[in-house]
Amino acid sequence: MRYCFRMRLPLTKSSDYLREIMIREHLARRGIHDPEVLRAMREVPREAFVGEGMQELAYEDGPLPIEEGQTISQPYIVAYMTEALELSSSDRVLEIGTGSGYAAAILSRIVGAVYSVERLEGLAHSARQRLAMLGYSNIVVHVGDGTLGWLEHSPYDAIVVTAGAPQVPKPLLEQLAIGGRLVIPVGASYEVQILVRVRRVSEHDYHREELCGVRFVPLIGAAGW
């Protein structure tokens, strides 16, 4: 099993420069090749999504702590998951685990609409403010238990879960459009998961692939932990 964990680089330069290094060294060199994903990663200022005093760490290739004991994911893993969703510009995407809003921002630069669900009210509130400030208007953030999906806007062309689940939540499979892709970390432990991609091939058939080893905070809810 290949692990997609962190790498470190010393940081001293401007955000634009560091973002270019991130694209080149952490993403392109490690196999991210979808031009739309690279463009989105170049466009979104990750420093706006990390906590006070953490801005200079924003372009290290690692996760960082955000409020309420949660994390903003490592840039490489955000790019990897986004690429694995095989997005097109007209897609409607559901994200579970808004957190800082960074992954939602990346998705919103590629697709038509992003619906993002966060269980913690405080995080959802700050993410909404941040996304509005950056002018990203095709993202709706909802407070709720994302293990149940968000029925109202289903079916989705793609669903991405950015927290580790004990198994693939059934409501998410049901809310996937035929031809749709679900990318989700799944693991029997709280600590390490396998990133799984499930493709809905027909009304009742799904195809499941294992992509790589990952580490996420737990997905907590009715169909989670």
| Binding positions for ligand SAH, rule: CB under 6 A | 70-73, 96-97, 99-100, 102-103, 117-120, 123, 145-147, 162-163, 217, 219-221, 224
Phi/psi at 9 (5° precision): -135, 145
154 is catalytic: no
- Rg over alpha carbons for the chain, rounded to the nearest Å, is 16
Compute φ and ψ for 140, nearest 5 degrees: -115, 125
DSSP state of 206: E
Angle at 55 between CA 2 and CA 126, to 5 degrees: 90
Direct distance between the N- and C-terminal alpha carbons of the chain, in angstroms, rounded to an integer: 24
Considering the complex, state which of residue 10 and residue 69 has its C-beta at the smaller distance from ligand SAH. 69
How many angstroms separate the CA atoms of 113 and 90, rounded?
Answer: 8
Q: Which of 14, 15, 73, 154 is catalytic?
A: 73
Nearer to ligand SAH, 97 or 187 (CB): 97
Nearer to ligand SAH, 28 or 220 (CB): 220
Q: At 47, which amino acid appears?
A: E
- What is the nearest approach in angstroms of ligand SAH to the Cβ of residue 139? 12
- Nearest distance in Å: CB 203, ligand SAH: 26
In the complex with ligand SAH, the residue whose CB is nearer, 117 or 198, is 117
What is the SS3 assignment for 186?
strand
Pair 136, 116: CB distance under 8 Å: no
Q: Which residues are catalytic?
A: 73
